[in-house]
Chains A and B, each alone.
Chain A
Amino acid sequence: MEDLLRALTSSDLAEIVALTLRVTGIALIISTIIGAPLGALIGLSKFRGKSFVRALLYTGMGLPPVVVGLFVYLILSRSGPLGSLSWLFTPSAMIVAQIVIALPLTTGLTMTSVESVSPELKRQIAALGATRSQAAWTILREARIGVTAAIVAAFGGIISEVGAVMLVGGNIAGQTRVLTTAIVLNTRQGDFSLALALGLILLILTFIVNTALMKLQGR
């Protein structure tokens, strides 16, 4: 218990939590900015190849995160297409990996929530004299709970992510060590109390997120 308290008040821990929130926060904001409008656009429109885009999104959601991590690693590695950025083993690399994991989620879930707005309401909106962009905006507002749920689900997914983040971040103390990777490292070094403290914080964060998610989904 004393160990746990010591661990909870250590400055390392504050640093790890801060980095975790920064990486996941930035990744979430970017994947929301891209994913929510894109998902809304796809959900609102009919076009050839839509089922292909849909299948692609599902594949993106189903890919093992470690594989995503390897993608990002290859792209950012010195000989990769974006190697000149020297992002590998920096927080930027972790942000990129989390964006790639979160983007199919925010896009796909926004798409389904926009699509689930009833056709009757869509017809009524047009009959009340909405232009196309007015109708799109109204439908997106109607789907706001689903869109929020998409963002929350993405947050829960990427803050818990271990493999991809370890792969591209390298788990360097003080630089790329986040909650999940720190839990792995401390457990393997036998420092259970710090691992527990970190696990507790991660649990609390995901608990808050999941409670919010269930509230949103009305369960």
Chain B
Amino acid sequence: MLPFRAHLGQTLIFSASGALLLFLVLPLFVLLARAIEADLLQQLTQPTVTQALRLSLVTSSLSMLITAALGTPLAYSLARHKVPARSVIETLLDLPIVLPPAVAGLALLLTFGRRGFLGPVLETLDLSLPFTTTAVIMAETFVAAPFFIRSAQVGFANVSHQLEESASDLGANNWQVFRRVTLPLAGTALLSGLILSWARALGEFGATILFAGSFSGRTQTMPLAIYHALESDLGSAVALAAILILISFFFLALLRLITHGRIGHPML
């Protein structure tokens, strides 16, 4: 941009960027070296690792299914219809994003726990939620769903009314308009929101450990398993972390692919 050369500036940028790169990349290499040392592939067959991996995938998938199924109509209504107290609803939806996960877990426990607000009701139904796999799904949904809803709402708001109107002028019914016009046009926003949510759910730690505990095979997801494996078996912790990193990379690449590099992170 600026029309003068600055070798000094460039040297500075390169050395500073290099230092940051080293700082961010070195731990990755250390981790990978350890993973190889600990025989990553063999670790992948360890029950702690397979159980945590399976549990994480199952709970986050179910949580995303719920989020998409319930969040899409909500986001659509917020974007399209006159909703009473819209700003209140939007603020409430933003709350879980800014709520510290530990506080979120505590809040879930105080609401759905045995001695919690809804405890008596749940007891008459013979339901016990805390420290179950269902609790994991609830914690993940609570923490991650707002990312999807926000992104989907923006996506729906950006679909032009004219296109939808011309589709209905051409004889499409409401459902057809939504399925054939609105949904595909808002698709990128929906998909990127879902990926961001998914990444958030997979990394969830604080709310899960409080509301669901850390029972191997039942509530011990990958992040929790990493924490607990440190006490006994560093190898499986490293293996799990390597898998989480690979998933993060995959999500990032997917996100950049579907948004053509426009979105790299929800905060940007």
Contacts and interface: CB of A to CB of B under 8 A. Distances in A.
A binds B: yes
Interface of A: 34, 37-38, 41-42, 45-47, 49, 53-67, 69-75, 80-81, 100, 103-105, 107-109, 112, 119, 122-123, 126, 131-133, 135, 153, 156, 159-160, 162-163, 166-167, 179-180, 183-184, 187-188, 192, 195-196, 199, 202-203, 206-207, 210
Contact of B230 (A70, A80, A100, A188): A70
Main secondary structure of the interface of B (DSSP, over half): helix
Given A47-B14, A64-B244, A187 B106 contact: yes
Given A56-B24, A58-B264, A71-B30, A199 B1 contact: no
In order of increasing CB-CB distance, the 5 nearest A-B pairs are A64-B203, A160-B100, A163-B205, A71-B27, A162-B206
Contacts of A103: 20, 23-24
16 contacts: A45-B9, A45-B10, A49-B17, A64-B244, A65-B205, A66-B205, A70-B230, A81-B30, A126-B2, A131-B4, A132-B2, A162-B101, A162-B206, A163-B227, A184-B102, A207-B98
Contact of B3 (A126, A153, A188): A126
Contact of A162 (B4, B102, B241, B249): B102
A179 B267 CA distance: 25
Contacts of A47: 10, 13-14, 17
B267 A74 contact: no
B122 interface: no
B268 A108 contact: yes
B106 A74 contact: no
Nearest to A59: B252
Contact of B100 (A57, A65, A202): A202
Interface in B94-109: 98-103, 105-107, 109
A56 B17 CA distance: 11
Contacts of B213: 188
Given A74-B27, A74-B31, A180 B106 contact: no
Contacts of A41: 9, 12-13, 16-17
B245 interface: yes
A75 B24 CA distance: 12
Main secondary structure of the interface of A (DSSP, over half): helix
Nearest to A54: B264
Contact of A180 (B3, B28, B100, B227): B100
A63 B252 CA distance: 10
B110 interface: yes
Contacts of B16: 37-38, 41
Interface in B1-48: 1-4, 6, 9-10, 12-14, 16-17, 20-21, 23-25, 27-28, 30-31, 34
Given A38-B17, A41-B16, A62 B199 contact: yes
A94 to B, nearest CB: 14
Contacts of B23: 100, 103
B49 interface: no
B238 interface: yes
B10 A206 contact: no
A58 B262 CA distance: 12
Given A41-B16, A56-B21, A67 B101 contact: no
A183 B110 CA distance: 13
A71 B206 contact: no
Contacts of B1: 46, 119, 122-123, 126
B265 interface: yes
Contacts of B136: none
B145 interface: no
A184 B2 contact: no
B237 interface: yes
Interface string B134-146: 0000000000000
B251 to A, nearest CB: 7
Interface string B254-268: 001000000011011
B164 to A, nearest CB: 28
A206 to B, nearest CB: 6
Nearest to A71: B27
